[in-house]
Amino acid sequence: MDKTLTSTPVSGTITVPASKSQTIRALLVATFAKGRSIIHNPLDSQDTRSCIEVCRAFGATIVPGVSTEGLPTLTIEAPVTFPTAITVDCGNSGTTLYLAAGMAATIGSAVTFTGDAQLKNRPVGELLQALSDLGVAVNYPSGNTRQGYPPFTISGPITGGSTRITCHTSQHLSALLLGCPLGTGTSRITVPLLNERPYVHMTRSWLDSQHIAYEASESMDTFSIIGNQQYSPFESAVNGDYSSASFFFCAAAVAGGCVTVSGLDPEDPQGDKEILSILQAMGCSVTWNERNAVTVCGPENGNLVGGQFDLNAIPDALPILAVTACFAHGTTVLGNVPQARIKETDRIAVMHENLASCGAEVEEREDALIIHGTGHLRGGTCDGYDDHRIIMAMAIASLQCEEPVTIKGIDAVGVTFPTFFSLLEQISEHHKESQL
């Protein structure tokens, strides 16, 4: 489905959905914990539904419900034993693919991973090599001539040993950190390159809450994890998602209004909260209140300013910050983010194409986008490329474009943020006027 949006001022308060990354970690830990776990306020999206189906394939019983406070819950009964041969379809969820592979490598069963056409282009070779180094058998089904990409089959257990892995995506290291405690021996991991470090902090927070014993160097370039450990059942709530919130933070910056986003924990290890500091550097005001809500206001004079920002820790912020930079004055460099090219799409190339088609002066580098902001953008037609973050970013661009913006193919927003367009309408001044 296509969607055409026109410019509008914005203001108001919204509550963003729960964190996708935290929900998927919670589901997988619960599936490999012996007993019953309860997750409060999980994200309901295509990606998390894919993860639920993967956990059910492992033998977990997962029942949705509602808490006494009216929030959604998931009750997970971990399997007593795992099936001997499993095929799991991760849909479009790269997070599920990587993290579930690390944990599936511990159960001694043959587990085949597959997914949709987009997921089959997500590189997994470095993770599979690391698992092989640690004792896991790795094979490819007949018909797959592309080693290093799904579909693939792994057969554990992780027996331990040493491996060296270059983590262009942090999810490869997170997969090992989640799986190795369930192995049979001590695993030693050397990490010469680690992108997206905050997501590893998130994974470590799960290990710490589960009282998993491991050692990590201060720079996170070496880890040692003893085996024969267990995960324990738990009950916890999932906080709001900073990645989803970032689009509404930037809506305030682009359109010059004030938007309050509730349901966020300022102490949460999610890396994308760094976007608040970037917006402050560009001229926005950021104010927290006592109810775990944050208000972002665009600069009073409407003059955003460009800057140079390292996005290595927060690659998912590239599309929306590229849009925001178009409405700033001066040059903005969004750099050190080569891993943005191996997400659902090549986001550097796709954002270059879409912004240029809407009148932006933008340059593409191997690991960066350079935007020469003029404070305005013409608008026009762009392609969503079945990438939820591209679609949402271009929707935010429409708030201040001189002409309507038509986005071709918007259905992929359901991957992480099914309510995005309804919330965008909720803060739209045009929507409010129509309700009068």
Of residues 331, 333, 367, the one with CA closest to residue 348 = 367
∠ CA 137-138-143, rounded to 5°: 140
Give the C-alpha separation, 74 to 93, whole Å.
Answer: 19
Q: In sequence order, what are the residues at sequence separation of 6 or more whose Cβ sits closer than 8 angstroms to the Cβ of residue 380?
A: 357, 358, 359, 403, 405, 406
H helices of 289-381, where?
A: 318-326, 347-357
Is residue 367 flagged as an active site residue?
Answer: no
Question: Which stretches does DSSP call E strand in 279-430?
Answer: 285-288, 293-297, 304-305, 308-310, 328-335, 362-365, 368-374, 380-383, 405-408
- What does the radius of gyration of the chain's CA atoms come to, in whole angstroms? 22
Give the C-alpha separation, 321 to 366, whole Å.
Answer: 17
Tokens 């963003």 — which residue? 16
Q: Which residues are bridge partners to 237 per DSSP?
A: 40
Query: By CB neighbour count within 10 A (0-12 exposed, 13-18 middle, 19+ buried), where does 301 fall?
Result: exposed
Pick the catalytic residue from 47, 316, 383, 386: 316
- Token pair belonging to 384: 């969503």
Q: Which amino acids are annotated catalytic?
A: 316
